[in-house]
Amino acid sequence: MRTLENILLWHLMAAVIILGQARPNVKLNSQSSSGLRSDCAGNLMRLSLDKALAVGNQLEVEAINGSQHTVLTPSLAAQCGYSMESDPWGNTRIYTSLMACYVDNKEDTTFNVGLRLRMYSQSPSDVVSHDVMQMCSYTRWASREILCDRNYMEVSNHMATPDAPAEAKGQAQEDISKTNAIPDASVAAHGIWKMTFYTPEPVSMVLREAEQAGYGAMTTSNRLVMRSPYNTAETYSEDVAGVPMEVFRVSAYYKAPHGLNMVNLAAACPTGGVLFTEDVISWHVPRRVTPLIDGSFKIVEMHMGINGQRLDKSQMATRGYMLSTTDFHIIIEIPVGSPDGYYKSHAPDYQYHITYTVEPMLEVLWRAENTQDDTRYKVLFPITTPLMPRPPQAQDNTVQEDRVFSVHVGTFLHDVELKNITFSTGVLTVEECRSRGFTVQEHSFPNSTKSFSLQVPFDDAVVLKHNSEPLVTVYFLPLIFGFIVQPEETPFAHPVDLEASLQDVVLPTITGTCDENQFYVGVKYGNQGSNFETMVGRQQLTPELAESYNFKENSTHFSLIVPYNAMDTAFELITSDSVRARLDLLLYDPNNNWALTDLYLACNFPLTTTTCYPNGTMTALAVKVESVPNLIPSWLTLKDQSCKPVFSDDRFAYFSFSVDSCGTTRTFFDHYMLYENEIGLYYNQNNNKGAAYTSPVDPDYRQTISCYYVVNDTQTVSFSYKPRSTEPTAEIGSGQLTVHMRLAQDSSYELFYQAEDYPVVQFLRQPLYFEVELMQSADPHLELILENCWATLHEDRTSLPSWDIIVDSCENRDDGYVTILHPVVSDARVAVPSHVKRFSIKMFTFTKDEEVLKDEIYVHCDAVICDTNSQADGACRGQCVHPTGTSNSRYQGIKGVKREQRSTDYTHQRQISSGPILLNTQSDL
């Protein structure tokens, strides 16, 4: 459809460069140059310029008329009968009317057309010129010729001689010499005096004014020519049979041999009338162009053409073109995609579209029945379809067994290029994709379309992976293909998501063996690497636990060495000389909570449970087995319930007693004496541990231990145990908790001395502010208790002399340098105040006989981690809940001498020490 942009196409390629200096390096070529072709097409001369010449250059066109060279600007081209059409790649056609301003016209039969094409590269001084000279012969002039080109309308009428006056519409003449004398002989020499335009209101102009307004007017030996650009002030639009048309009407006054003549001229050119379907372009032109025709007429000739060149019926049939008429219209039908046009890619809103452009020509010769005057009507009409969406299609050609994603994206026109591809890890250019090992290919097809393909291995880092089932891996490749449309470099993109599933998971495997003391476990990784978690017993294998189990690993395996009596093993069975222990190992996927594989390894380990000594001492070991899960060994006693274990933990209770105590019975036989006792959990009316037993007679747990003596031989004769009938409450579990002691710089406890600051130098009697903190725990039910703190001269916490600072969780009341326990409140740094303890002392030194033994001290503490919900005894009652009020210090003649050894039975005790604190001897204090 003709629009203002179509009219100004000249400006797009024929960029005029006016240089005010000499142009060196000019190279002249004739029209025989490769890429230039000229021919004659009826009343037009057509010049074709191949894109190979135009690409990368700016084009300037000059009209040649003898020695005269005139630069054709877009406005001058429309005024003088020149037009140009270029496709986006530089293929150019220049049309010249044989009635153009600068054509050498020989008696309206022979026409010499000359053009010079100047091509400027990046440097304005580097110019290549091509001269084109074409001679055309044309004698089939009709009485009236109308030419509708893309940027102008042209009408030429035959000028009647005095012997043959014309009376037909459009060229009615009258002798007005008596009433209209030519006022200016110089004007009369041009043949045309003045013009009256009808808009439809009359507007008169002399020739000079009309030319200044952009109109072209001239006379030849036999014809009067008028030319007008589209959309001027003196043209108007009119709807003719539903088709919008631009109308140009004028009365021209010109000098004839017998006087001044006047002729009426008119041109009407379609600016619309195109209908589109997906497959066909239908161009409708009014059959009766009412601004041009009055009365009856008949169509003498009707032709269709492409790019200004007529086509015969066989050519039209081959291309699928149709030319037909109705009562109101002449219709040209062109299949979308015919070879005479071209497709173009576009990307509005980053979406891929295409258009199709073709330039049909209609040429009609009609004859007025009353005058027998002929009118030749010729229209060159470039048509571009509306934007047609063509979303790219992605074809997934992945063969999963090949473990390579393969995708085909298309189709596109030849002017589309693949610029980059966006992966989950970032954007890669095509070259970067290839250098990374991806296969990127462009595939061209005979119909000038193309597509692109990409291949990416499953194992590349750009591929996302997850397991939908324990043995199935889902591979996911999100892509965004980035394209550009040439030559405009307009970008657009197309996303593609590829997915493939393979049952390709090799699970890890576990093997294990035992010796007399330990389990040995080996884990071989599958093809997923170490992407799993490990449970040892009921605990997850943390770095701390792994270190305690001698964890070792490489890229394919890891191994553990677990003692049979470790907390994470289970005891299945006990005999008098062995215990059957089991290690449970589970590998699981934490993201999906899948069990991948497990191992239940059970072995017998040597274990003596009862020992009989010649001096009458018996020792017995009670073991908590898996079938008695709720047993607490520390609650076990012998028959005499005052005889409790000398040692117990979560799994063992160890008894040592003489055969004449703890309710041991003695039985005499012929050759030996038998001593028996029982380990059990007995009913106790004062028992407040939460156990509710059904009988005051039978014990809840019973293990019989026996020794017999034959002469001087001592043997273990029997062993048995009886499970409990009820389940007592579970003991508080233990974990790997860290306690850290630091020395603060002042009483605000905000800044602390770092490791590199030691030894810290302090003055005598200057306060030292200590903070002890339970690390790596947020449990509010845990409390840190400072059981004992003391100072020594040496780093060894057991060295002497020493001085008590905190005794049995309270300040040392015998210390003249008063120890102060400071309260702790929650703030930005302290989340759980019960996890932090603070105290301060004044700097002192150890002396003997008033002589300083050493000018530095070390501070040590025993800290206990307690459960605030338990009814514990000892230090877990709280920090200084029951002050002792007595001193445990032993001076031995030296100030600060403390007890020589410290010990505790607390399972959750931690030992901590400070760095050296140095006395500043320069002080006067």
Relative to beta strand 27-29, strand 127-137 is: parallel
Task: Name the band, by pLDDT with cuts 50, 70 and 90, for residue 586.
Answer: very high
**Average pLDDT value for residue range 582-590:** 93
Task: Name the band, by pLDDT with cuts 50, 70 and 90, for residue 305.
Answer: very high
Asked if the model's pLDDT at residue 688 lies above 80, the reply is: no
How far is the C-alpha of 115 from the C-alpha of 362, rounded, in Å?
A: 26
Asked if the model's pLDDT at residue 408 lies above 60, the reply is: yes
How far is the C-alpha of 6 from the C-alpha of 152, rounded, in Å?
A: 11
Asked if the model's pLDDT at residue 613 lies above 50, the reply is: yes
* pLDDT at site 922: 58
Task: Give percent of the chain above pLDDT 70.
Answer: 82
Peptide bond into 200 cis (omega under 30): yes
Contacts (Cβ under 8 Å, ≥6 apart) of 881: 809
DSSP state of 415: T
Task: Name the band, by pLDDT with cuts 50, 70 and 90, for residue 908.
Answer: low
What is the average pLDDT score of the chain? 82
Tell me the sheet residues that pair with 105. 111
Least confident of 99-113, 565-579, 862-876: 862-876
Q: Considering only residues 777 and 145, tell me which one the structure prediction assigns the higher pLDDT.
A: 145
Alpha helices, H only, 219-367 = 313-319
**Average pLDDT value for residue range 716-724:** 35
Q: Considering only residues 629 and 753, tell me which one the structure prediction assigns the higher pLDDT.
A: 753
Q: Which residue carries 């062109």 as its tokens?
A: 334
* pLDDT at site 29: 39
Q: Which residue carries 């903070």 as its tokens?
A: 771
Contacts (Cβ under 8 Å, ≥6 apart) of 508: 523, 524, 525, 526, 528, 532, 587, 596, 597
Strands of 186-337 (E only): list them.
Answer: 192-198, 202-206, 216-219, 223-229, 236-240, 243-256, 259-270, 274-276, 280-286, 297-306, 309-310, 322-325, 329-335
How far is the C-alpha of 332 from the C-alpha of 325, rounded, in Å?
A: 9
**Average pLDDT value for residue range 231-248:** 93
Per-residue pLDDT tens digits for 637-675: 999 999 999 999 888 999 999 888 999 998 877 777 888
End-to-end CA distance of the chain: 106
How far is the C-alpha of 663 from the C-alpha of 685, rounded, in Å?
A: 19
DSSP state of 213: T
* pLDDT at site 869: 72
Of 266-270, 291-295, 773-777, highest mean pLDDT: 266-270
Q: Considering only residues 119 and 279, tell me which one the structure prediction assigns the higher pLDDT.
A: 279
* pLDDT at site 189: 40
Q: Which residue carries 């990416």 as its tokens?
A: 456
pTM value is 0.60
How far is the C-alpha of 523 from the C-alpha of 172, rounded, in Å?
A: 110
Relative to beta strand 127-137, strand 144-148 is: unpaired
Asked if the model's pLDDT at residue 253 lies above 60, the reply is: yes
Per-residue pLDDT tens digits for 841-873: 888 777 766 777 777 889 999 888 887 776 666
Least confident of 90-99, 196-205, 702-711: 702-711
How far is the C-alpha of 703 from the C-alpha of 697, rounded, in Å?
A: 15
Based on the number of CB atoms within 10 Å of its own CB, is 489 exposed (0-12), middle (13-18) or buried (19 or more)?
A: exposed
Amino acid present at 395: Q
CA neighbours closer than 13 Å in the CB half-sphere of residue 730: 5
Relative to beta strand 569-574, strand 578-589 is: antiparallel
Q: Is there a contact between 527 and 507 (Cβ–Cβ < 8 Å)?
A: no
Task: Name the band, by pLDDT with cuts 50, 70 and 90, for residue 33.
Answer: low
Task: Name the band, by pLDDT with cuts 50, 70 and 90, for residue 557.
Answer: very high
Q: Considering only residues 431 and 739, tell me which one the structure prediction assigns the higher pLDDT.
A: 431
Considering only CA atoms, give the Rg of the chain. Answer: 55
Per-residue pLDDT tens digits for 469-526: 888 999 999 999 999 999 999 999 999 999 999 998 899 999 999 999 999 999 999 9
How far is the C-alpha of 381 from the C-alpha of 308, rounded, in Å?
A: 9
Per-residue pLDDT tens digits for 173-203: 444 433 344 444 344 444 888 999 998 889 9
Q: What Å distances lie between residue 458 and 142, 421, 498, CA to CA?
A: 74, 17, 11
Based on the number of CB atoms within 10 Å of its own CB, is 337 exposed (0-12), middle (13-18) or buried (19 or more)?
A: middle
Amino acid present at 447: N
**Average pLDDT value for residue range 226-245:** 94
Closest CA to 537 of 733, 721, 729, 782: 733
* pLDDT at site 505: 87
Q: What Å distances lie between residue 886 and 788, 840, 877, 882, 904, CA to CA?
A: 14, 20, 18, 12, 19
Q: Alpha-carbon torsion 5, 8, 13, 17, what sign?
A: negative
